[in-house]
Amino acid sequence: MEIGITKAAILYKSRSQLLIEDIFLPKYLLTGQVLVEVISSGICGAQINEIDGSKGPDKYLPHLLGHEGFAQVMEVGENVKTVKPGDYVVMHWRPGNGIQAAPAEYMWRGSRLNSGWVTTFNKHCVVSENRVTKIFGTKLDKYLIPLLGCALTTAYGVLKNDAEANESDSILIFGAGGVGLAILKIAKLLKIDQIVVVDTFEQKLVLAQQFGASSTIKFIDKISTSAELAAIYKNYLPTIAIDTSGNVSAIELCYEFSATKSRVILVGVPKVGTYAKIYTLPLHFGKVFKGSHGGASNPQTDIQILLDLILNNSLDLTNYPIQKYALEEINNAICDLRNGVAGRMIIDFEL
């Protein structure tokens, strides 16, 4: 079957705005590939890092972006077994069940346009079977479902798998963005009461307080934040410290202001060439210091677990902030994310 043309946001040059243009989809689906029509997509901090080249020179330019979305399946390639045309799916970057197919090859301006196993900033996407998970009979709206592809599953996995959190823990969180607020929500679900949240933006801290943070701190610099943390914790340091920002000072403070046998989990990634300094002796006496890879979440199980928690009102997301944009407004959405607008920026392909 020939597929045709669709609209997409394209990163053609690092540290530049995305181009919104028509692209040509592959003429045929390969084994394990799935064609979907995207309904809505979240914008994650990972995409800001890609745009900025935070991990170094981008050897895949030009390419497509996005890794959390809500879509409907249109066609499937050979040997696809987990989804069929008409199914509604969550799109995610962590591998789930099914085939990991070859990345799709799109065409743009007469040349190849690169993509990974999943992209969500194009109206129609060809993705690997193991990057989509079918959802059943959901009453959720299209603005919340994309969060199951990254923000919520990462938050759930960080607490469950990386930190092995329970109600006896206390938590320090740096960064009250999409993932940080989701971690706070799920930590409250786990009946963890002592949660301190640090961020550079006042409006995010207000939300953190509304979500149940026991204390909040506006980050100005490392020295002043260190003094505020010392005043809050005194001799009772948190057992879990999580950085979602990738800020080197935040990473160092998570390590310094956590208990002897704490779990320090890094979700955010520092820019290439920047280094955190830590005193390693506590690592010999039980302190854990590790980087998270999406919370080691399993989309095939975790998406449904979270969906059930939301649908039975155990996990209340009614006040989780969503900012809505048309695809043509994606650069405005990225600008708002950079400027600290609270919550998740969602691209609505039906606008």
Average confidence (pLDDT) over 94-98:
97
Looking at the structure, do residues 195 and 259 belong to the same domain, yes or no? yes
Query: 110 is written with which tokens?
Result: 């007469």
Model pTM score: 0.95
Question: For 339, which DSSP code?
Answer: T
Query: Given this model, what pLDDT does residue 140 score?
Result: 76
Domains of the chain: total: 2
What pLDDT score was predicted for residue 137? Answer: 66
160 and 231 belong to one structural domain: yes
Query: What pLDDT score does 136 carry?
Result: 84
CA distance 297 to 154: 6
The reply to whether 290 and 194 lie within a common domain is yes
Mean per-residue pLDDT, 285-296: 97
Asked whether the beta carbons of 337 and 43 are under 8 A apart, the reply is yes
Domain boundary among 295, 310, 328: 295
The answer for residues whose C-beta is within 8 angstroms of residue 75's C-beta and 6 or more apart is 1, 3, 29, 34, 35, 85
The mean pLDDT of 300-305, rounded to a whole number, is 95
Model confidence pLDDT, tens digit, residues 221-249: 999 999 999 999 998 999 999 999 999 99
Instruction: Judge whether residue 1 has pLDDT over 50.
Output: no
Query: Does residue 187 sit in the same domain as residue 231?
Result: yes
CB atoms within 10 A of CB 202: 12
| Residue keyed to tokens 């997509």 | 41
Mean pLDDT along residues 159-182: 97
Residue 38 included in any domain: yes
Q: Is residue 192 part of a domain?
A: yes
At 121, which CATH number?
3.90.180.10
231 occurs within a structural domain: yes
Evaluate whether residue 112 is within a structural domain: yes
Q: Is the dihedral of CA 174, 178, 181, 182 positive or negative?
A: negative
Higher pLDDT, 139 or 48: 48
73 and 179 housed in the same domain: no
How crowded is residue 297: how many other Cβ atoms within 10 Å of its Cβ?
27
Statement to judge: residues 181 and 291 lie in one domain: yes
Residues 6 or more apart whose Cβ sits within 8 Å of residue 244: 45, 173, 174, 175, 177, 179, 180, 183, 267, 268
For residues 9 and 111, membership in a common domain is answered with yes
Q: Show the domain range for 70.
A: 5-144+320-348
Same domain, 287 and 337: no
Q: Is the pLDDT of residue 325 over 90?
A: yes
Amino acid 3: pLDDT? 57
Please check whether residues 290 and 174 belong to one and the same domain: yes
66 and 182 belong to one structural domain: no
Q: What CATH number is given to the structural domain containing 203?
A: 3.40.50.720
305 located within any domain: no
Phi, psi angles (nearest 5°) of residue 252: -65, -40
Give the pLDDT mean for 71-85: 97
Say if residue 26 is in the same domain as residue 73. yes
- Write out the H or E segment, with its range, that includes residue 227: helix 222-233
Q: What is the mean pLDDT of residues 62-86?
A: 97
* Statement: residue 96 has pLDDT above 50: yes
pLDDT digit string, tens, across residues 188-215: 999 999 999 999 999 999 999 999 999 9
Could you tell me the pLDDT band of residue 55, with boundaries at 50, 70 and 90?
Answer: confident
Q: 67 and 44 in contact (C-beta within 8 Å)?
A: yes
Report the alpha-carbon angle 241-247-252, nearest 5. 50
Question: What local confidence, expressed as pLDDT, does residue 138 receive?
Answer: 66
3-class DSSP string for 291-312: ECCHHHCCHHHHHHHHHHHHHC
Q: What is the pLDDT of residue 42?
A: 97
User: What phi and psi, each to the nearest 5 degrees, are found at residue 206?
Assistant: -60, -45
Do 139 and 192 lie in one domain? The reply is no
Q: Which residue has the tokens 């902030």?
A: 321
Domain contains 314: no
Residues 67-90, mean pLDDT to the nearest whole number: 97
> What are 116-151's pLDDT values in tens digits?
999 999 999 999 999 999 998 667 789 999 999 999
Is the separation of the CB atoms in 310 and 330 below 8 Å?
A: no
| 147, 151, 153, 157 alpha-carbon torsion, rounded to 10° | -170
